[in-house]
Amino acid sequence: MIDAGISQVYSFFKKQKKKDIYYGICFFLYYVEMAQEGRNNFANYSEAMRGRIVGLTEQGLSAREVAQQIGCNIKTVELWRRKFRELGPDGLKDHRKHNRRPKKTTPEQDAQILNIVQENPFRAAEHVIPEIDVDISKRTVIRRLKAAGLVSCRPTKKMCSK
């Protein structure tokens, strides 16, 4: 276990009044320990793994025993048990397409962004945002343009003459 030097690390950073560094190191060491045990706290479990969680609970194992056997958190076991109980086998399916979060813009809004830029190709991405009806970042506009094969122009700095 990695806890051996944590008290020394804590006392060192406590003297220096840098507790945020200490907590960052502890967080890092925790995830190193989880990786050594073969656990991944950021895992998005496959349908097979979710089914295995439900199957083990159907065999009569407790949530704690299932979590230890699979290598996940008890809350994860409880989540998939609840979803299976409420929705049946459909509750174990991944509802996200390509395992990503949904886009902030619709195809119509994407077309609107493209039309604005095609009307004035020298318009910067940050000047497109006020003309559409959605709260998006400059980076989102740039990604939509890139997907369409267009580029966003950057505003240039005016040169000062002395």
| pLDDT value at residue 115 | 92
Is pTM beyond 0.85? Reply is no
Of 49, 7, 56, whose CA–CA distance to 29 is shortest?
A: 7
Q: How confident is the model at residue 113 (pLDDT cuts 50, 70, 90)?
A: very high
Tens digits of residue pLDDT in 60-97: 999 999 998 888 889 989 989 998 999 888 888 876 66
Report the percentage of the chain scoring pLDDT > 70: 65
Q: How confident is the model at residue 15 (pLDDT cuts 50, 70, 90)?
A: low
Distance CA 74, CA 78 (A): 6
Among 13-17, 45-49, 128-132, 151-155, the range with the most confident prediction by mean pLDDT is 128-132
Of 118, 119, 135, 117, whose CA–CA distance to 127 is shortest?
A: 117
Tens digits of residue pLDDT in 17-63: 565 665 666 666 665 665 555 555 445 777 888 888 999 989 999 99
Please provide the average confidence, as pLDDT, over all residues in the chain.
78
Distance CA 111, CA 118 (A): 10
